[in-house]
Amino acid sequence: MTTAPTITTEHLNLRAHRASDMDAFWDFYQTPRADFMDKPQNRSHLWYGLMAEVGSWVVDGHGGWAVDLHDGTLIGQVAILQPPHFAETELGWLLFDGYEGLGYAHEAAEAALNFARETVKPASLVSYIHRDNTRSKRLAERLGATPDPQAKEHDDEDNVYRHVGRAA
């Protein structure tokens, strides 16, 4: 079966999702850290989302990775996704409560960004970030992305940060 390729960085492993990741993601979506995201209404919705991020690897050649510490602790997710209702390919990240401020989100997102540049090579790559999510916006800027007010948002409340290319 095809799954996401494992990418090892200094502190992290980006790996394919497993069904057992469900509980940790469900717990995450109950915390205020998920307030800027589209929260699943119930466990079934979460399951559908996670399955789609897995299936995306087969369909599009990119998708979601679980982010583990080297000791196997699951601490978040990074994903390269382009459902047809997204104007452009998106790089997204999330980090569980208690692991912020250590550079992990940057490390994981940078690894995914490199994978996008070297392997996926999308025509363009952006991050859709809620306008009030200042920490994520700062991370996008540290990754080298710039705000693109001309780009089509995924949601009225989003700002679009551009990593690669130009809006179509």
Partner 1 sequence: MIATLADTPVLETERLTLRAPIPSDIEPWVAFLMSERGVWHGGGPDAGEGVAWRVAATFVGHWVLNGFGLFVALDRESGRPVASSGPYAPPDFPEIEVGWSVWAGADEGKGYASEAARAVIAHCRDDLKMPTLVSYIAPENTRSCALAERLGAWRDKDANGPHPDDLVYRHYGVAA
Binding site for partner 1 (CB under 8 A): 1-3, 16-19, 22, 42-44, 47-61, 83-86, 119-120
Q: How far is the CB of 121 from partner 1 (least distance, A)?
A: 9
Q: How far is the CB of 109 from partner 1 (least distance, A)?
A: 20
DSSP count for the chain of H helices, then E strands: 4, 8
| Closest CB to partner 1 among residues 42, 150 | 42
**Three-state DSSP class for 52?**
helix
Q: How far is the CB of 148 from partner 1 (least distance, A)?
A: 21
Nearest-angstrom CA–CA distance, 83 and 32: 26
CA 46 from chain centre, in angstroms, equals 15
**Three-state DSSP class for 34?**
helix
| Closest CB to partner 1 among residues 32, 42 | 42
Q: How far is the CB of 70 from partner 1 (least distance, A)?
A: 24
Nearest-angstrom CA–CA distance, 51 and 46: 8
| Closest CB to partner 1 among residues 79, 105 | 79
Other CB atoms within 10 A of residue 1 CB? 6
| Closest CB to partner 1 among residues 7, 106 | 7
The amino acid sitting at 132 is D
